[in-house]
Copies of this chain bind each other. A is one copy, B any other.
Amino acid sequence: MSHPPARPTRRADAEQNVAKILDAAVACLSRDAGASVSDIARAAGVGRVTLYGHFPSREALVEAALTRALAEGEAVLGNLDLTGDPRDALEALITSSWLLVAQWTAVLEAAQEALPSGRVQELHAKPAQRVDDLIRRGQAEGAFRADLPAEWLTSVLHHVIHGAAIDVAKGRLDGADAARFIAKTILAAYAEPGS
């Protein structure tokens, strides 16, 4: 046997390890935002040295876990039909976004603690763009107020959804009420004044 055939196997092993580590990272961090690298290595069934070979720090691992969670979220949000009445589309987008944020609250919390300030919002560029596009269309069609910039309205939705997730985590808000409260609040906040 010559050497070359061994490489794909080693690469396949490495890819399998990365997948196991990421699955374990998302699962562990979803249960406990403070999960350690050792906890995650144990759950993945790999050694710490192997884990550090792929993710040189807890920060790198948390960022990869958030990126994975956001990619799963994109698969859901990307399938929504947002072409109808902007108000209905916004309500559908809020309902789906809330389910994702609620599912990944602890991963997000871990990321907010472990990543440099601003990085979490950078990684949210795609979902933020989707909201921004919908708001601009709604403004153009007269469904949403145009006296405030779309960037600000997008930002308000981000703050209210993520704030609600913290409220639920702290026991200040019933998770079953959250999507309805958020939608009612945001639709009113976005309405053309006097409409």
Contact = CB atoms under 8 A, between A and B. Distances in A.
A171 to B, nearest CB: 10
Contacts of A184: 147-148, 193
Which secondary structure characterizes the binding site on chain A? Answer: helix
Interface string A143-170: 0010110011101101110111001001
B189 A185 contact: yes
B163 A156 contact: yes
Interface residues of A, number: 33
A163 B165 CA distance: 14
Contact of A188 (B145, B155, B162, B173): B145
Copies of this chain present in the complex amount to 2
A155 B173 contact: yes
B117 A185 contact: no
A170 B188 CA distance: 27
Contact of A155 (B109, B121, B163): B163
A33 to B, nearest CB: 8
Contact of A109 (B117, B121, B147): B117
A118 interface: yes
Contacts of A148: 181, 184-185
Contacts of A170: 117-118, 121
Contacts of A185: 148, 152-153, 156, 189
Nearest to A161: B159
Interface of A: 109, 113, 117-118, 121, 145, 147-148, 151-153, 155-156, 158-160, 162-164, 167, 170, 172-173, 177, 181, 184-186, 188-191, 193
19 contacts: A145-B188, A147-B184, A148-B181, A148-B185, A151-B172, A151-B173, A155-B172, A156-B185, A158-B163, A159-B159, A159-B160, A159-B162, A160-B160, A184-B193, A185-B189, A188-B188, A188-B190, A188-B191, A188-B193
